[in-house]
């Protein structure tokens, strides 16, 4: 009988993260003067240890013992063979998923929240600020800060703050403070509210508020934390793919297709980057980041230099972007409502190593229902985007009569997203595909910025 779960012991958990910057080139982030920023320019925002990881080109970076100790609360996470889904789809494909919903906050997010809290703690920092979309990241950082005795303040995108009140409750249980963004607590928030009092908010706005709150602290004991996009975040998440490799090796399998949902890029990169290294070295693998059709950053937006936040506090980052003033529609997959994409993911798309896809809201929720009724777990709305593509690939394998191995990341559970499922089941959700004119208008935001080079390996 085929095992559903493929497990690792705590002793088998990887002891190092994989850094993809050892194997690709990346355009540098730029300061206000148009020149590459220096590590010391980031010191008011991040502790030096994280800045060193942000710019490092060392392939393997050790995971500190204190971080491993907290990881062991839920890691290694299970690799699950989706036998019931395979049966429902009547597919010859073997489908596996890495179940990141088993963490205390219910998602992949603490894989980076824990090391970020640790490095801030040993640097003498007392409090951290951050933004959150659907609330998963705010919960993860609140959890991580509680593990290391740090204060945590979270600016949560207004539409998700209203849609998902129990995310705020989770943060408060872990002693985090959660406010709706835009808020009256920062200059950036007040300016947005003055112009757009009914705005649903965006991750770009929330990032601006969190950065401002950190750098304006007169004590100098506050730092900012980002849950996606940046290199050190992608680095920490690679424990997902590294574990998956070890688990698949136990059953003698290797993926033909790798799939993950993509908003800022963290859960996708965490699963995919260790396999991207194999693809760079000649393995034949298809790797799909999947995003909402309502926020088509990778599939429709240009590869440009743009700010990571609405107010322009961040450096210019080389990424696929819809424009930092872009206001995404209030779709229920709040964690995928970001205007940009991680520079590393964007670079890999530019090189042709990744093939981005987009799916609409109704298709993704239908996939989530199919998975819940077969595998039993209710997926987060973000995860359902990956699931829609998994089903498509499994059906393609059936049509071709060809066995293939599909690996995807179950980035989080949907137990606090049942309001959205209620609306889907009641027929109250609709699709929204971004009109071309909106993208053309967004492009004006960064038209005067420098253009990133189309770098190639070697």
- CA 219 – CA 5 distance, rounded (Å): 49
Banded model confidence at residue 239, pLDDT cuts 50, 70, 90: very high
Give me the pLDDT at residue 329, please. Answer: 66
The arithmetic mean of pLDDT across residues 255-282, rounded, is: 97
Per-residue pLDDT tens digits for 350-361: 999 999 999 999
The arithmetic mean of pLDDT across residues 133-142, rounded, is: 92
Per-residue pLDDT tens digits for 420-452: 899 999 999 989 877 778 778 877 888 889 999
Give me the pLDDT at residue 202, please. Answer: 85
- The highest-level CATH class for domain 64-106+232-446 is alpha beta
Give me the pLDDT at residue 326, please. Answer: 80
Q: Could you tell me if 308 and 324 are in contact, meaning their C-beta atoms sit under 8 angstroms apart?
A: yes
Per-residue pLDDT tens digits for 179-210: 999 999 999 999 999 999 999 888 888 989 99
For helices 266-280 and 343-350, what crossing angle results, to 10°?
40
Kindly state the percentage of the chain with pLDDT values over 90.
Answer: 81
Q: What is the CA radius of gyration of the chain?
A: 20
Give me the pLDDT at residue 436, please. Answer: 74
**Torsion sign across C-alpha atoms 446, 109, 202, 366:** positive
Q: Could you tell me if 120 and 47 are in contact, meaning their C-beta atoms sit under 8 angstroms apart?
A: yes
User: How far, in Å, are 5, 88, 122 from residue 98 at the CA level?
Assistant: 10, 20, 31
Per-residue pLDDT tens digits for 65-97: 999 999 999 999 999 999 999 999 999 999 999
Q: What is the mean pLDDT of the chain?
A: 93
User: C-alpha angle with apex 165: 160 to 167, nearest 5 degrees?
Assistant: 80
Give me the pLDDT at residue 331, please. Answer: 58
Banded model confidence at residue 59, pLDDT cuts 50, 70, 90: very high
The arithmetic mean of pLDDT across residues 135-146, rounded, is: 96
Single out the residue of 97, 76, 115 nearest to residue 261, CA to CA.
97
The arithmetic mean of pLDDT across residues 285-303, rounded, is: 94
Give the three-state DSSP class for 297: helix
The arithmetic mean of pLDDT across residues 91-108, rounded, is: 97
Q: Residue 22, Cβ neighbours under 10 Å: how many?
A: 13
**Strand 286-292 relative to strand 357-359, pairing:** parallel
Give me the pLDDT at residue 318, please. Answer: 96
Lowest mean per-residue pLDDT among 246-260, 323-337, 404-418: 323-337
Q: What are the start-end ranges of the H helices in 251-335?
A: 266-280, 297-300
More confident position, 19 or 334: 19
How do the domains of the chain map onto residue ranges? 64-106+232-446
Banded model confidence at residue 105, pLDDT cuts 50, 70, 90: very high
- CA 187 – CA 81 distance, rounded (Å): 49
Banded model confidence at residue 178, pLDDT cuts 50, 70, 90: very high
Single out the residue of 23, 17, 68 nearest to residue 233, CA to CA.
17
Stated pTM of the model: 0.94
Looking at residue 368, the DSSP 8-state letter turns out to be: H
More confident position, 334 or 51: 51
Kindly state the percentage of the chain with pLDDT values over 70.
Answer: 98
Per-residue pLDDT tens digits for 298-349: 999 999 999 988 778 889 999 999 988 887 766 555 567 778 999 999 999 9
């Amino acid at each position: 009988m085929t095992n559903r779960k493929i497990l690792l012991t705590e002793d088998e958990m990887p002891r190092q993260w994989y850094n993809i910057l050892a194997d690709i080139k990346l355009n540098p982030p730029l300061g206000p003067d148009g020149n590459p920023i220096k590590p010391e320019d980031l010191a008011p925002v991040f502790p030096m240890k994280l800045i060193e990881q942000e710019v490092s080109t060392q392939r393997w970076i050790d995971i500190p013992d204190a971080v491993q100790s907290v990881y062991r609360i839920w890691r290694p996470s299970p690799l699950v063979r989706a036998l019931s889904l395979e049966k429902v789809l009547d597919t010859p494909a073997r489908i596996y998923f890495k179940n990141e919903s088993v963490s205390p906050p219910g998602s992949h997010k603490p894989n980076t929240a824990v090391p970020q809290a640790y490095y801030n703690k040993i640097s003498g920092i007392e409090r951290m600020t951050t933004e959150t979309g659907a609330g998963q990241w705010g919960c993860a950082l609140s959890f991580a800060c509680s593990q290391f005795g740090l204060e945590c303040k979270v600016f949560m995108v207004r539409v998700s703050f209203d849609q998902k009140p129990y995310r705020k409750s989770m943060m408060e249980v872990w002693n985090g403070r959660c406010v709706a963004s835009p808020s009256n607590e920062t200059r950036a928030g007040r300016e947005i509210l003055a112009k757009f009092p009914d705005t649903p908010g965006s991750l770009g706005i929330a990032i601006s508020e969190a950065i401002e709150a950190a750098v304006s602290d007169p004590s100098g004991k506050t730092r900012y934390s980002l849950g996606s996009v940046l290199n050190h975040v992608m680095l920490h998440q690679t424990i997902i793919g590294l574990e998956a490799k070890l688990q698949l090796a136990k059953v003698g399998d290797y993926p033909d297709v790798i799939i993950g949902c993509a908003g800022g890029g963290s859960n996708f990169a965490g699963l995919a980057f260790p396999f991207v290294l194999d693809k760079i070295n000649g393995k034949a693998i298809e790797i799909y980041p999947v995003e909402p059709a309502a926020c088509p950053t990778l599939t429709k937006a240009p590869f440009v230099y743009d700010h990571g936040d609405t107010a322009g506090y961040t450096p210019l980052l080389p990424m696929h972007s819809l424009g930092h003033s872009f206001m995404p529609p209030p779709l229920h997959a709040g964690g995928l409502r970001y205007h940009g994409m991680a520079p590393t993911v964007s670079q890999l798309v530019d090189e042709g190593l990744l093939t981005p896809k987009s799916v609409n809201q109704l298709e993704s929720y239908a996939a989530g229902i199919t998975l819940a009724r077969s595998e039993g777990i209710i997926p987060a709305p973000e995860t359902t985007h990956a699931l829609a593509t998994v089903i498509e690939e499994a059906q393609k394998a059936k049509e071709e009569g060809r066995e293939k191995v599909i690996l995807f990341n179950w980035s989080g559970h949907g137990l606090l997203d049942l309001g959205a499922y209620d609306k889907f089941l009641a027929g109250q959700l609709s699709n929204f595909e971004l009109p071309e004119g909106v993208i053309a208008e967004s492009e004006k935001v960064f038209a005067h910025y420098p253009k990133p080079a189309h770098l190639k390996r070697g």
